[in-house]
Amino acid sequence: MLQRADPQILRHGGWFYFTGSVPEYDRIVLRRARTVAGLKDAPETVIWRRPASGRMAGYIWAPEVHHFDGAWHFYFAAGNSDDKFRIRTYVLQGRGENPLTADWSLLGQFETPWDTFTLDSTTFEHKGTRYICWAQREPGIETNSNLYLAPLKTPNTLAAAPARLTVPTLDWEVRGFKVAEGPALLARGGKLFLTYSASATDARYCMGMLTADADSDIMDPKSWSKSSVPVFATSEANKVYGPGHNGFVVDETGRDLLVYHGRDYREIKGDPLFDPNRHTRVQPIHYRADGTPDFGVPVANGVLR
All structural domains of the chain: 5-294 (2.115.10.20)
Q: Would the pLDDT of 36 be above 90?
A: yes
DSSP, collapsed to helix, strand or coil, labels residue 273 as helix
Size of the chain, expressed as the number of residues it contains: 305
Cα torsion 262, 266, 270, 271: sign: positive
- At residue 250, the pLDDT reads 98
Q: Are 243 and 298 in contact (CB under 8 A)?
A: yes
Asked if 252 and 34 touch (Cβ cutoff 8 Å), the reply is: yes
Catalytic residues: 6, 181
- Are the C-beta atoms of residues 121 and 167 closer than 8 Å to each other? no
Q: What is the mean pLDDT of the chain?
A: 97
Percent of the chain whose predicted confidence (pLDDT) is above 70: 99
pTM above 0.95, yes or no: yes
pLDDT tens for 162-203 read 999 999 999 999 999 999 999 999 999 999 999 999 999 999
pLDDT of residue 302: 83
Check pLDDT > 80 for residue 81.
Answer: yes
Which tens digit of pLDDT belongs to each residue from 91-141? 999 999 999 999 999 999 999 999 999 999 999 999 999 999 999 999 999
Local confidence band at 303 (pLDDT 50, 70, 90 cut-offs)? confident
Phi, psi of 221 (to 5 degrees): -55, -25
pLDDT computed for residue 70 by the predictor: 96
Residue 32: count other Cβ atoms within 10 Å of its Cβ. Answer: 23
β-bridge mates for residue 65, sequence order: 74
Rounded CA-CA distance 110/123 in Å is 12
At 197-230, the pLDDT tens digits run 999 999 999 999 999 999 999 999 999 999 999 9
Residue-level pLDDT at 203: 98
